[in-house]
Amino acid sequence: SVSSMGNSTSRLYSALTKTLSSSAVSQHQDCLEQPDSARLDPIDPKDLLQECQIVLQKRPPRFQRDFVDLQKNAASNHRPIRVMQWNILAQALGEGKDNFVQCPMEALKWEERKCLILEEILAYKPDILCLQEVDHYFDTFEPLLSRLGYQCTFFPKPWSPCLDVEQNNGPDGCALFFVKDRFELINSANIRLTAMKLKTNQVAIAQTLKCNETGRLFCIAVTHLKARTGWERFRSAQGCDLLQNLKSITQGAKIPLIICGDFNAEPTEEVYREFSNSSLNLNSAYKLLSPDGQSEPPYTTWKIRPSGECRHTLDYIWYSQHALNVNSALGLLTEEQIGPNRLPSFNYPSDHLSLVCDFSFSQDPDRLL
């Protein structure tokens, strides 16, 4: 039980369970970057993991997923950079608008669901973490991840659908976290995506980082495009706008690029083709798991709503294939693991699967351009 914990873990437990009042959150809505949280004590990730496991002790254990080695003989002169992409499902939407008919409300309780999310992050230890649908940034992710050594940035949607839900926790948006010991922030841009010259409700964050070990620069971007069938042309326009912004930031691909996102688009959509055929020379990392290296996974989200069952590939990690190698990628959950009620569930906190890749810099990127 919780009462048996010692002083240091009790303090940690209070950090884990503490939530800001909604008035405190509303004061923060205009803040896109938090002040440095160095004043707070660092957290040992093992302690935080243990705390999460205490909260989750009545839940089934986390699913086993294995990394698939994709670079059999590639020699690298530096530690790989682990990047994690994940739409974590906004709490207000999970409990409110999304209406997961096969998922018990009990499985969606934030006090436990946040521990499942944190457990997944702590298990894979990403150097860079790209999240969508974050509506508990100021009371959960920023305070905890900054104490784990991450630099944190958040960009909320201007008109987040979470705000329509009673007792919401503020707007959802994209969040980007990187390990401060490994990278130096050179430049950061918050991008509100446009479509047909109109500003939209979708956003992106793009940061140029310097890898301390190699001195190499690269750009990491996170985004979440417009959802729903019927919005394909809109998504395509948003994708074009993002690519234009990234061409400028990377000086036309001189700086290697990794883009993580929930694109809300199957590989058959125009926006997918735009990224595939871009002058930035991008490839989708998860295609490399397929036997021919040309096919996306069969699904990255699988849910049941009143309208029926939805199984789609919508989430991607794009990368500059001339400048970066994908050393390994985390395998997806099998249909058997997911189970007949699909996602989210007592086992898994989101309706989207997390994607995780280990990248290394190519030895001679210019030769391949």
* Each residue's pLDDT tens digit, 240-278: 999 999 999 999 989 999 999 999 999 999 999 999 999
The rounded distance, in Å, linking the Cα atoms of 354 and 193 is: 24
Q: Beta 128-134 vs 81-87: how paired, if at all?
A: parallel
pLDDT, position 366: 54
Domain range for 129: 80-330+347-367
The rounded distance, in Å, linking the Cα atoms of 71 and 144 is: 34
pLDDT, position 15: 55
pLDDT, position 98: 76
Query: In which residue are the tokens 């960009």 written?
Result: 155
Residue 292 lies in a domain: yes
* Omega of the bond leading into 344 within 30 degrees of 0 (cis): yes
Residue 67 lies in a domain: no
**How many other C-beta atoms can be found within 10 angstroms of the C-beta atom of residue 50?**
15
Residue 274 lies in a domain: yes
Low-confidence ranges of the chain (pLDDT < 70): 1-39, 73-75, 364-369
Residue 74 lies in a domain: no
pLDDT, position 39: 60
Residue 19 lies in a domain: no
The rounded distance, in Å, linking the Cα atoms of 45 and 123 is: 10
The rounded distance, in Å, linking the Cα atoms of 20 and 216 is: 39
Residue 127 lies in a domain: yes
Sheet containing strand 217-224, strands side by side: 183-195, 198-211, 217-224, 257-262, 315-320, 282-284
Q: CATH code at 123? A: 3.60.10.10
Give the pLDDT confidence of 119-156 residue by residue, as tens digits: 999 999 999 999 999 999 999 999 999 999 999 999 99
Q: What are phi and psi of 314, to 5 degrees?
A: -130, -15
The structural domain count of the chain equals 1
Residue 262 lies in a domain: yes
Residue 38 lies in a domain: no
pLDDT, position 40: 76
Q: What share of the chain is helix, strand, coil (3-state, %, to 5)?
A: 30, 30, 40
